[in-house]
Structure formats: C-alpha cells, structure tokens
C-alpha cells in the first residue's frame, strides 16, 4: 500500500467500518489529512471512462484488459489498452491464471490440415461437468476452426452416436455442410453409425493421433474459455437450467465477445454474417453512448453499426 489512492481507500474503509477517526487512520497509514480530503483532479470524461471500465470488469471478471479495451472502443470510447491496464491494476482486477505445462507424447511435425475458409474444417469434442446435486453433465461442442464460431453446444446426461448425428445435422441445416470434421478417437466419433453417416454426406474425417490433444488446438482453446468464463462461474440447478445458461454464453461468445486471434472481432463479424449490431449478453441492443471529445464536449449519440 504505497500509492496515495490506495492509502485513501484504506482510510475510507477504516472510517466507514467505524474502527477509528480520520485523523487516527491517516496517521496509521502515513497519509496527511489534506491528502485524504483533496478533490480529484480527473476530468469528468476520465471518471466516466473509469466507471465504465470497472463496470465491464465486474460483469466479465475473466476478461483481460485488452478485451475490456476492445469493448470500450466498440462503444465509442477513445482509450488505449495501457490506460485500461493501469486502472485495473490499481483496483486489483488483474486476471491471473496458472496453466499446467503438458508434456508432449510424440513429435509435432506431422502435417495437419489448416482451415483457410469457413466450413472447411469443423471440430467437435466433449466436456464434462455436473449439476448442483452432483449429477453428471456432458457437453458436445462443435466449432468452425476458421471463423472460431461455436456452432452448437449440446448438453445432456449422456450423449450417444445418434445424438451426435442429430447435433451435426442441425448445424449443417443452419450453416451448411463442412468439407472435413476433426475429432479425437473417442468411441462416439469412431462409431460405425457416425462414420457411415459422414461418408454418405460426403464429409471427410480427420482423426488426431491418440494422446495428442495439441493437434485439436482450436477446440481445446475453446473449451478453456467455456470452462473459465461459464462452467466454473455457474452453479447449475438442473439440466434445463444448464442448457439455457450455456446457450446464452454461446450467443455471447459468437456475437458479442471480441476474439483476440481475430483482431478483436467477434466470430460472427469475422465470418461476415448478418449482424444487426453489437448486442449485450442480455440480448438487448448495445447502449447509445456519446463519444468523449478532448474539450469535454460530446457528439450526438449514435448507435454503432458493424
């Protein structure tokens, strides 16, 4: 606690909790009373920007400062990432995440088909979770590797080969058929029913080598975001509740969440889909926000179109 702002927050906390008077709290933290009572010299637009940064950070605690900055610029704010990072660090809002290093079991020099256009390579896999009463919850996820769009997330107690076919049929009816679909060697994906159905529809299969999850990197990265931003934050009371919450997150991921590997576009924008405008996770249109000007004046609010 070395910065004046941190000391002022400590004094304010002690006084509001009724632990001591302002003078005693200032002596304890080494802050003058004039420094505690001084008015902020920040401009009104700076205070509004700081309040919006804190609001977005509270709504999305697993977003880093770059993604928060991208959201602000979408709303019309002229702000750079360093300023967002500085304010979040001052408020103790850094996102820390320790990842365990994975030892590779084989060589990674084998040729792997890379998607260069939409619907060239789809990828699917399973994620495990549970409801509040401890019942098993299994998720089948399907993404487009080129656009990073999540095409479907099917949640159920158990998922068989026939269920997987139903999910991909619905995705094909909405987005078109893929040229290839990538998966691991799980029993659901190597089942005769799935392989026969894919062959009848002219869809090629790409199976990764056993024990080589890095060959399916796109969907593994998607699972990391799904678990970090949704599954680890939500407590599902029932299967129906889980389906509703997960589908809401899927829509947010596709239409509202900036993707760093897509130059902070959303997957829908990168795919060139018909996006009527930025929408918030609640499904409501983005707020009409006036862009701050250097002289403190504001322009007429306009609704952003993408």
Residue 3 or residue 257, greater confidence: 257
CA-nearest of 291, 72, 290 to 63 is 72
Highest mean predicted confidence (pLDDT) among 6-15, 147-156, 213-222, 268-277: 147-156
Indicate the CATH number for domain 122-255: 3.30.420.10
Tokens 């029993």 -> residue: 187
Highest mean predicted confidence (pLDDT) among 24-38, 104-118, 154-168: 154-168
Task: Judge whether residue 222 has pLDDT over 60.
Answer: yes
Q: What is the pLDDT of residues 27-68, one digit of tens each?
A: 988 888 888 887 666 677 777 888 888 888 888 888 888 888
Residue 21 or residue 186, greater confidence: 21
Highest mean predicted confidence (pLDDT) among 105-119, 150-164, 263-277: 150-164
Backbone phi, psi, residue 213, to 5°: -65, -20
Q: Which two tokens stand for residue 201?
A: 């529809």
Using pLDDT thresholds of 50, 70 and 90, give the confidence band for residue 209. Answer: confident
Task: Judge whether residue 161 has pLDDT over 90.
Answer: no
The mean pLDDT of the chain is: 80
CA distances from 113 to 142, 196, 213, 219 (A): 17, 22, 15, 14
Percent of the chain's residues with pLDDT above 90: 30
User: Given the DSSP bridges, would you call strands 150-156 and 204-207 parallel, antiparallel or unpaired?
Assistant: unpaired
Highest mean predicted confidence (pLDDT) among 59-63, 102-106, 165-169, 184-188: 165-169
Listed range (199-213, 237-251, 273-287) with the worst mean pLDDT:
273-287
Do 157 and 167 form a contact (C-beta atoms < 8 A)? Answer: no
Using pLDDT thresholds of 50, 70 and 90, give the confidence band for residue 2. Answer: low
pTM over the 0.95 mark:
no
CA distances from 13 to 8, 9, 47, 72, 174 (A): 9, 6, 21, 30, 54
């Amino acid at each position: 606690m070395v910065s004046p702002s941190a000391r002022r927050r400590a004094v304010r906390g002690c006084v509001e909790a009724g632990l001591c008077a302002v003078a005693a709290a200032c002596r304890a933290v080494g802050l003058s009373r004039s420094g505690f009572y001084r008015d902020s010299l920040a401009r009104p637009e700076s205070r509004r920007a700081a309040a919006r940064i804190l609001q977005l950070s509270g709504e999305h605690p697993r977003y880093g400062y770059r993604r928060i900055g991208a959201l602000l610029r979408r709303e019309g704010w002229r702000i750079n990432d360093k300023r967002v990072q500085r304010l979040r660090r001052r408020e103790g809002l850094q996102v820390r995440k320790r990842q365990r290093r994975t030892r590779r079991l084989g060589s990674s020099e084998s040729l792997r088909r890379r998607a260069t256009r939409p619907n060239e390579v789809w990828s699917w896999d399973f994620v495990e979770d549970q409801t509040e009463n401890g019942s098993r919850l299994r998720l089948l996820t399907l993404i487009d590797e080129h656009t990073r769009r999540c095409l479907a997330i099917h949640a159920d107690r158990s998922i068989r080969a026939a269920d997987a076919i139903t999910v991909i049929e619905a995705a094909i009816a909405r987005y078109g058929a893929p040229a290839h679909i990538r998966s691991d060697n799980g029993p659901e994906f190597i089942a005769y029913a799935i392989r026969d159905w894919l062959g009848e529809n002219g869809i090629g299969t790409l199976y990764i080598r056993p024990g080589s999850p890095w060959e399916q990197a796109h969907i593994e990265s998607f699972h990391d975001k799904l678990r970090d931003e949704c599954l680890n934050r939500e407590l599902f009371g029932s299967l129906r509740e889980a389906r509703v919450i997960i589908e809401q997150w899927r829509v947010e991921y596709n239409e509202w969440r900036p993707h760093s590997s897509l130059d902070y576009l959303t997957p829908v924008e990168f795919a060139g889909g018909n996006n009527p405008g930025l929408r918030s996770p609640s499904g409501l249109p983005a707020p009409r926000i006036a862009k701050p000007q250097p002289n403190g004046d504001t322009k007429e609010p306009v609704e952003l179109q993408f």
